[in-house]
Amino acid sequence: MKAPEQILQKAAAVLRQPAPVLDPHELRAYVLAFISQADGFLALAGRYGSPLYLLDETTLRRRALEFTSAFGNFLPQFQAYFAVKSNNHPDVAASLVNCGLGLDVSSGRELELALRCDCRDIIFSGPGKTDAELGLAAAHNAAVTVLIDSFGELERLEQAARRQNCCVNGGVRLTTDERGLWRKFGIPLAALEKFMQAARQCPHINLHGLQFHTSWNLDPGPQTAFIVRLGETLRHLPQPYRSAITFVDIGGGYWPSRGEWLQPAGTASGRLHLAVAAENHLPAEHYRLAAKPIEIFAEEIAAALSAHLFPLASCSIKAEPGRWLCDDAMHLLLTVVDKKADDLVITDGGIHMVGWERFEIDYAPVINLSRPSATERPGFILGSLCTPHDVWGYGYFGEGIEPGDILLIPGQGAYTYSLRQEFIKPPAQTVKYASQLGPTHLEI
């Protein structure tokens, strides 16, 4: 524990530098783009009822194209694998496979989903794969590359492959931080040579790649910093091991360029206010942590690879984007069921649709499609679960709000649908549609 004076000094520094405020013009333009499609959304609500997940396949496909061309411009041998955990709706995976992406799965269940999509290029990563999961991967070895997480998993994969008398393609995951909780992923860089030696003793495994993953990157700094460390390690690796490496998987973690939108409680200064001032509700301000465009991620990562990796290993590059591809391809549609005060309404859906108390921390606009307005008005927009933490937001864009009004919470494709819970209310259904630019017409 730090001394109280040190803590106070740090707290003072945090309060002096609060997170940047979300530009109201940017927010307004974002909201207006959805209001311009209100008729289409209202038609979907009329036809299917609510609550609903709306899956916008046009945006999903556009994102896939943007991501692959951003990286493809700099890295001719580049393949993207959609991280299924970020949105495990089968139609999301199927659409992205149709766009030429592979799939990145992290469990037997996700692997089965990928196989049902007829995906021929699957990477299977993640810690603690069970024998049954490794057996499933071995049984589909023509389509699956296993990113091995530990020495123990290497042995168990060898046994699974031996039992099926087959050879499994593999890579090894490298931990990006040898201290703390991230140690649970992969092996330390210092153990790479020993791991490659051990893999040579496994006749049923063809180990030919490396993987790392860093999370929640607003810019490519964490990825490029690890590429520098990886280059240092490869420099000292015996040549035959280096030549065995034919791919490097640089993982996911690309934050969408809209930036991270936060409620006060999602910022360090907001958390301090809540902890110290015993306030239970903060002013309805919104904050935005800026994120770099994907072209900058691609350019800087490619530059780091050219400087530190390609001189040492002639390899192709794989990536595992999740959030970046699916975040703005899914929206939530709700109906106001009850109005308990001028500033408090209850909706039919609750935060079981997103799996956690997300909107106490993250900010997303609540748009009243039935009485649209570009002005945000204060009011508690709460779900119908039996918990006071069932919060969608502390305001809404609309000329008032009444029972029966249809609300849209846009841009909820990443780590919401796949975290949904069966808690009190039944799960909501998903409706696919194709958004179009300009005055919108929606197709089912």
Ligand X SMILES: Cc1ncc(COP(=O)(O)O)c(C=O)c1O
Residues lying near ligand X in the complex (CB under 6 A):
83, 85-86, 104, 125, 213, 215, 251-254, 320-324
Angle 221-235/294-308 helices, nearest 10 degrees?
10
Which CB, 51 or 171, lies closer to ligand X?
171
Q: How far is the CB of 81 from ligand X (least distance, A)?
A: 8
Q: How far is the CB of 415 from ligand X (least distance, A)?
A: 7
Closest CA to 320 of 122, 94, 92, 181: 122
Which CB, 125 or 169, lies closer to ligand X?
125
Which CB, 86 or 175, lies closer to ligand X?
86
Q: How far is the CB of 367 from ligand X (least distance, A)?
A: 25
Q: How far is the CB of 295 from ligand X (least distance, A)?
A: 16
Which CB, 250 or 333, lies closer to ligand X?
250
Collect all residues with Cβ–Cβ distance below 8 Å to 116 and sequence separation of at least 6.
Answer: 90
Q: How far is the CB of 40 from ligand X (least distance, A)?
A: 28
Burial, 256: exposed, middle or buried (Cβ in 10 Å; 0-12, 13-18, 19+)? Answer: buried
Which CB, 261 or 396, lies closer to ligand X?
261
Which CB, 186 or 393, lies closer to ligand X?
186
Collect all residues with Cβ–Cβ distance below 8 Å to 363 and sequence separation of at least 6.
Answer: 22, 261, 262, 263, 266, 286, 287, 393
Q: How far is the CB of 254 from ligand X (least distance, A)?
A: 6
Q: What angle do CA 364, 365, 371 make, to 5 degrees?
A: 155
Q: How far is the CB of 210 from ligand X (least distance, A)?
A: 13
The Cβ of residue 281 has, within 10 Å, a number of other Cβ atoms equal to 10
Which CB, 257 or 440, lies closer to ligand X?
257
Q: How far is the CB of 133 from ligand X (least distance, A)?
A: 15
Cis peptide before 51 (omega within 30 of 0): yes
Distance CA 139, CA 223 (A): 33
Q: How far is the CB of 262 from ligand X (least distance, A)?
A: 17
Distance CA 96, CA 85 (A): 14
Which CB, 83 or 334, lies closer to ligand X?
83
Which CB, 149 or 376, lies closer to ligand X?
149
The four Cα atoms 353, 359, 360, 362 give a dihedral, to 10 degrees, of 140
The Cβ of residue 127 has, within 10 Å, a number of other Cβ atoms equal to 12
Distance CA 128, CA 216 (A): 22
Q: How far is the CB of 137 from ligand X (least distance, A)?
A: 15
Which CB, 44 or 117, lies closer to ligand X?
117
Which CB, 371 or 420, lies closer to ligand X?
420
Tokens of residue 97, six digits? 């496979």
75-90 burial, b at 16+ Cβ within 10 Å, e below that, comes to beebbbbbbbbbbbbe
Tokens of residue 131, six digits? 């024998």
Which CB, 248 or 367, lies closer to ligand X?
248
Place of tokens 């037997």: 108
CA distances from 274 to 111, 268, 278, 370 (A): 42, 10, 5, 34
Place of tokens 């993987």: 211
Distance CA 120, CA 101 (A): 10
Q: How far is the CB of 213 from ligand X (least distance, A)?
A: 4
Burial, 12: exposed, middle or buried (Cβ in 10 Å; 0-12, 13-18, 19+)? Answer: exposed
Q: How far is the CB of 317 from ligand X (least distance, A)?
A: 14
